[in-house]
């Protein structure tokens, strides 16, 4: 099987001691590629180091996470912007709006989001969106760019059917991860009504670990549990889930 983890932070310190084993375990489960969303300037070195060790396998993005938007966000944006000008990245991410943890910098989050969308349009690459407690607000920002070729993934999708259809209608894909295995999340019921054609797989490692390892560190080999659950929800085989979601990811990232 050829599976793609479209969203994992396996360059973080949580993996410092066993990253090679983590990648090996994932490969043993069929995971062939790992897309690495940036968070802020503190993670760029370790992210690019991982790419250097696994070229073509660990693939970095560039961007400023909404939770890292604070009074210094213009400086942070400058760093990301310089990197994008310096070399090729497959996507601008992860970017978006997060009103869950802190609403102090709401205005700045909107500004950073729109500035980074402009970069993606300029380089003609997709965006990877993080949204929390801000689903409709995020969709509304995306809708400000009709016909401009804006595209990408709503990472860790956990909205309702209406949100899903609106996102798909804008030409975006849904990133599906461990949340699908959480009983109370209601995501499985939503995805029953959405075609696999609009989904990609992700772990968000080390976060959002699927059942049965919920609460522990997440890693890409656990995509196995996400695929199993998604196959069940869509009443199909795990091979079919892998094939369709991998083709979707390749289309998005131009691989
Ligand atoms: Zn993430």
- The Å distance, Cα 70 to ligand 1 centre, comes to 18
Handedness of CA 167, 173, 176, 180 (dihedral sign): positive
**Residue 174 pairs with which residues in a beta bridge?**
154, 199
Q: Tell me how far apart the alpha carbons of residues 90 and 36 are, in angstroms, rounded to a whole number.
A: 10
pLDDT band, residue 184 (cuts 50/70/90): confident
- The Å distance, Cα 156 to ligand 1 centre, comes to 8
Provide the mean pLDDT of the chain: 97
Alpha helices in the chain (DSSP H): 19-28, 44-53, 73-86, 106-123, 135-142, 161-169, 187-191, 223-233, 238-253
> If you average pLDDT over residues 144-170, what whole number do you get?
97
pLDDT in tens, 86-131: 999 999 999 999 999 888 999 999 999 999 999 999 999 999 999 9
Poorest-pLDDT segment among 34-43, 169-178, 180-189, 195-204: 180-189
Question: How much is the pLDDT for 11?
Answer: 98
- The answer to whether 174 touches 199, Cβ cutoff 8 Å, is yes
Report the predicted TM-score, pTM, of the whole model to 2 decimal places: 0.97
Question: How much is the pLDDT for 99?
Answer: 96
Question: How much is the pLDDT for 188?
Answer: 96
Note residues around ion ligand 1 (Cβ under 5 angstroms): 204
- The Å distance, Cα 113 to ligand 1 centre, comes to 15
- The Å distance, Cα 176 to ligand 1 centre, comes to 12
- The token pair at 32 is 């062939």
| HSE of 145, CA atoms in CB hemisphere, 13 A | 23
What does the longest C-alpha to C-alpha distance in the chain come to?
Answer: 48
Q: Count other Cβ atoms within 10 Å, centred on residue 50.
A: 21
Phi, psi of 23, deg, nearest 5: -65, -40
């Amino acid at each position: 099987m050829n599976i793609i983890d479209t969203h994992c932070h396996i360059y973080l310190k949580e993996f410092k001691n066993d990253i090679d084993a983590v990648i090996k375990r994932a490969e043993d489960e069929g995971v062939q590629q790992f897309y690495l969303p940036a968070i802020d300037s503190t993670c760029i070195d370790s992210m690019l180091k991982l790419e250097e060790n696994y070229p073509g396998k660990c693939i970095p993005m560039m961007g400023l996470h909404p939770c890292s938007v604070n009074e210094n966000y213009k400086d942070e944006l400058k760093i990301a912007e310089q990197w994008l000008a310096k070399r090729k990245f497959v996507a601008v991410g992860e970017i978006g709006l997060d009103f869950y943890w802190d609403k102090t910098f709401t205005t700045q989050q909107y500004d950073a989001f729109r500035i980074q969308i402009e970069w993606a349009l300029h380089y003609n690459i997709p965006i990877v969106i993080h949204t929390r407690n801000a689903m409709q607000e995020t969709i509304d920002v995306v809708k400000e760019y009709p016909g401009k070729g804006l595209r990408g993934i709503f990472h860790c999708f956990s909205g309702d059917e209406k949100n899903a259809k609106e996102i798909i209608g804008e030409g975006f894909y849904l990133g599906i991860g461990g949340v699908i295995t959480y009983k109370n999340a209601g995501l499985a019921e939503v995805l029953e009504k959405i075609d696999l054609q609009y989904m990609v797989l992700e772990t968000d490692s080390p976060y959002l670990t699927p059942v049965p390892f919920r609460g522990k560190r997440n890693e890409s080999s656990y995509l196995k549990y996400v695929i199993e659950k998604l196959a069940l929800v869509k009443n199909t085989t795990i091979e079919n889930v892998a094939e369709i979601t991998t083709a979707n990811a390749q289309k998005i990232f131009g691989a």
